[in-house]
Structure 1
Amino acid sequence: MPLKNKYILILLFFSISSGLFAQGDGPRAHLFAPKGVWALNVKYLHLDQNLLPGDNILVKNADIKIQLFPTTFVHTFGIGKKFARVFFMLNPGSLNANIATPIKEINEGLTASGFSDGYVALEYGLIGAPALNALEFSKHQPQFSLNALFKYWYSGTYNSEKLLNLGTNRSAFEFGATMAIPFHKNISENATWLEIIPSVQFYTKNNDPARSNSANVVEQDPLLIIENHLTHNFTKKLWAGIDLRYQYGGTTKADGISDDNLNNILGGGVNLGYQISAPLSIFAGYDKILAGDNNAKSNMLRVSVVFAYINLKKLKQTL
């Protein structure tokens, strides 16, 4: 196969797989890829829910409409003989909300703009994920892969004088694993993948709670997240998939007193993606909460555009 065609095939596999978004990593975000790829993923999210933008703090009596534009930079490389991938995500957006409180004059027309929480992350191959260049990758048959995943979440825009913020004024440390299971036996076949991503988030304290809370310190219990995606290529360019995501924990405590806002939530959705050209792909999806305690609700529409690039000239020079 000519090098140019191999390059197209490589980016076909990779560029549709960079679907990171704030409400979970999304479909094909952790599929195996060659080293030396740079990618930019720009997304639009529209959310109507009673969770704050990070999707880990439940506000039971709220109706929050959120517009976010998560933008993620991705680079793949090798650490020794193992595959590795780094991410950096910044998350501009805005929200408006109504919160039912006894004081009517403070519960309507709440707005915020700026940045929601973002992250930096490292993914490292443990099983079935060698560090391969583009040509080696183009010959690599699909197989099970297991990677370690670490994310550091930093706070977005926050003002304690406001009732509601896009940022959380605390950090989070997320530890997880990413598993990808192929149901196709050959790289030439239309791909079918099952991704399973379990993780746990741990939070630092918010020592300057927003004006909606009279406490001196707000803490949050760890949150367990199990994310699943099943996707199938109908052609080499067109794919569709279904999501299933469960999270448990994350109760907040104001000066040690529980806010009774446990996350016990099962969500799901559908996605449709298309490879526009070798370096450019797009997918759209709809997700919602299917079942949850504390009247949890969320409807999310997302559109993701991904551009991926690999230095083909540099690769040729090594041949």
Structure 2
Amino acid sequence: MKNDKKVFILIEAVLGAIVLAMAIFLLSEKSERDMDKVSVIVQNSGDNQWAAFIYGLKMAAADQKVELLVVNTETMLTVEEQKGLIDSEIENGADAVIVQPVPGQDTQEMLKRVRNRVPVMQAGYAASEERDASVLPTTEPDHYAMGTALAEELLKDYNGNLDGKTIGILTESGDSEASANRKQGFMDGIKDTGAKIRWTAARTFEEDGEVLLEDQPEANLVVALDDNSLTTAGECSAANNLHGAIVYGIGNSTEAAYYLDAGYVECLVVPDEFNVGYQSLTVIAESLGNRLRRSRDITVSYTVIRSDTLFSKENQEILFTMSQ
């Protein structure tokens, strides 16, 4: 009799454990289905320049308990292509979108219409300089300040006197708000120093092909205003195709760090792309938690790095996020 009672209790315990396990499983599945989904669309998403940005997105997604999807893009997108990807993501259940916008007023108007359907955060820069932060918030570094910082570092190396020095300016996206502000910051920084701009090479998002640096006129200095331009200049410098020009620039990839370490780049201004990703997703997740809450503009920091400070304790975190 006692044995029968023990067996009965054992069976009850096993059944109870099974019911509990099923309840936990069902609750877990329900929790996963209920998670907000955020889709991220950037130009050429597989490029190494996005490593820190995507790492920041992933860390924020874990903290905010949202589902993250970085859309695979292999080329530079047009406005129409970007709109098509956004529409597709919303149709597939995206509750919000983070986007590196194709520069231009048309993109801004397109994103305003998207904002009527789901929250939108611009990452890196605004679609248009005529921005409306209350409708289209942006997470970005201070582009003008980075351009000014680049000029200040250059002037330190020449004791504030660039008389007779010629400069070539390279930028990947000459039609973006970021490029315009970075260039303006640099130009204001070297004003009345005697420097002469020998050439400016840029291409728009609508163009194909690369700017060939070796075809540009000889200059004493090359200033690269974004990561792709910086790595292009570093590669040309390593191949002795810059006619001896010294390279200064803005970059945030492991390749950019390599060219600095190898001596092919003199100075690097590094935007905090990890925080661009982390803050973009955090703010948009907060807006999903409160649909009446409007997202806000966020400005992240940047760091000036030289080859002798590249591996300093202060810069270890930057290098770590670049390599993720």
TM-score normalized by structure 2? 0.30
Identify the structure with the greater helix proportion. 2
Structure with the larger RCO, 1 or 2 (CA within 8 Å, 6+ apart): 2
